Amino acid sequence: MKKSYRALTSTALVSSMVLLAACGSNNASEGSEAAKPKIKFMHMYDKNATPPSHQADLIENFKKANPDVTFDEEVQSHDNYETKIKTLSAANELPDLFLVKPSMVATFVENGLLLPLDDQLNKDAAWKDGFIEGSLDPYIVDGKTYGVQMSGGPTHVIYYNKELVANAGFAEFPKTWTEFETLIKKLVEQKITPIALGNKGKWVANSSYMSTLGDRFTGTEWFNSLVANEGAKFTDPEFVQALGALQNLVKIGAFNKDMNSIDNNQQRTSYYNGKAAMFIEGSWAANAVESSAPKDIVEKTGLAVFPAIEGAKGAQNSVSGGGGWAYAVNAKVDPAKLDDIQKLIKSLTDSSAAKLILEYGDIPSSKVENIESIELSPMSKQLVQLLETTKYTPIYDTRMSPGLTESMNTTLQELMIGKYTPEQAAEAMQKEYDKEMKK
């Protein structure tokens, strides 16, 4: 599928370049007295949408502060955006400024469609250095940065009931994997479901568990090598160990038995009812807990990430996250527009923008100074403080192809019900990977 998409893109590129060359000739002969050319900008942030969007607000703020900068703006719905941008890329008709997500970047770069943004970032050290470590990594290809993300929190956060954990003998959340497994066994003895899991949609185990657990065992270089087809394999011992750790959680009774029959909303309900001591999702669930859980549960909720795994080779304070939509620039953009485009992207992503993003309950990609001066809910503050001690690592299902992600999701689901051993699950994933690499 990838090969055919690239072939289609290449064909369309040749055709479009001929047309553009003809159009360019006409424009040159006409000349132009215009002070500033319009910036063609496509995004998905409708200023009239409900609920409102921090990016829509920031875009309107930029327009008011910079009336000399004009736009040819196209706002797509979230559901339509990805299809539209891929269609435009195939026809080499991308706007000047648009949004990409990590899974698009490598192919777009391979086809010469994206402008490296390192020069723009390097012009403003405060902006460049203000990003949370690792938040721009999903948009880096061969050492060059092709996207600037505005927000995107972790896909892994453990929401835990401090009272139930204390009753199991832990005054604070476990610091090691061995202690974590001990906590789970204690909760089982007390007939409390240790971790409510709703993996009916298949993505929870991959996005909110395996992306973080796998990196703890393999290190991030392993995943980067895997997606670049540079030698890493699902069957490598460290990744098999990660699969074994996940399966062992099932064996010691960590999850509810209907984990593959209920969804993530239902897993939260079990936690809200006090029947489960923990559930694991991304930062997006924080707002749900505060708005939907009983007040006493909200007050008892603490936040954590997987504890350190003894002997594992990866960073032990890492958490999968940061891989959302990012602003990107057309490789063929008129250089006369670049200063204004840089100013616009900065205004949507820097530490000032981050304050507004936080106030909307989202997790910004830039650091926020004087966070105590911002009105945040107690859980949002907990989340920000938690992230100050962690580093983002790749979210598997945002970096891998849709086909490989679906195969991995299904295999993990079946691993957790004992259909596969860790070795067999790794072989199944590798088989799908090899098949895709041959296309």
Domains, the chain, in order of start with CATH, read 39-152+322-383 (3.40.190.10), 157-321+392-437 (3.40.190.10)
Q: Which residue has the tokens 């060059």?
A: 144
Instruction: Specify the DSSP element, H or E, that contains 282.
Output: none
Q: How far apart are CA 278 and CA 184, in angstroms?
A: 10
User: What is the predicted pLDDT for the residue at 34?
Assistant: 58
Q: How far apart are CA 87 and CA 82, in angstroms?
A: 9
Contacts of 218 (CB under 8 A, 6+ apart): 232, 236, 238, 239, 242, 313, 314
Query: Which residue type does 227 have?
Result: V
User: What is the predicted pLDDT for the residue at 334?
Assistant: 97
Task: Tell me if 40 sits within 8 A of 70, measured CB to CB.
Answer: no
Q: How far apart are CA 122 and CA 129, in angstroms?
A: 9
Average pLDDT, integer, range 357-367: 87
CA distances, 73 to each of 211, 335, 343, 376 (Å): 36, 19, 17, 32
For residue 51, cis peptide bond before it (omega within 30 degrees of 0)? yes
User: What is the predicted pLDDT for the residue at 106?
Assistant: 85
How much is the pTM?
0.77
Share of the chain above pLDDT 90, in %: 70
* pLDDT, tens only, 62-81: 999 999 999 999 999 877 89
User: What is the predicted pLDDT for the residue at 280?
Assistant: 98
Per the DSSP assignment, residues forming a β-bridge with 40 are 72
